[in-house]
Structure 1
Amino acid sequence: MEQKIINILSEIKEDETLKNSLSSDSKIIDKVGLDSLQMINFILMVEEAFNIEIDYEEFDFDYLESINSFCNFLKAI
């Protein structure tokens, strides 16, 4: 799951080097630096990749603290 998230982030940022530089502890917002449009695309791609629906009303940006914390959030859905 973590590698799939890393691949999605790499695709959105159009930066293949992210695949090797990100880890489960990497901070999604600070390390990757998604702008608002990229963040929307990221969430949409995650929903599609994992066939889930994220409730934006209850979504907390704390889930984006790290790739690992985001994966834990996804597992709880």
Structure 2
Amino acid sequence: MMSADWAEMEAFDESLKMASILNISNVIFESDCANLVNKVNKREQDITIIGCCVKNACKAFNNFDSVKINWANRSNNQVANV
């Protein structure tokens, strides 16, 4: 069984991989998981296990010209609300 935070982490990691494969240079990632967005934006200060995974995943940021991650209100996430 996987917690919601870990599921969001997996989805974020897969999104990074897909954006790299598609050779997208400027990306904006959005998530309704405030915990994940905060961990990405404060990855240098987070010493938790998931924080370590976030830090490793964010090494892929070097593949892009610009990267931004935003929190999106859950009501804006049509897929999650189905």
TM-score if structure 1 supplies the norm length? 0.31
TM-score normalised by structure 2 residue count: 0.30
Query: Rg larger in 1 or in 2?
Result: 2
**Which structure has more helix as a fraction of its residues?**
1
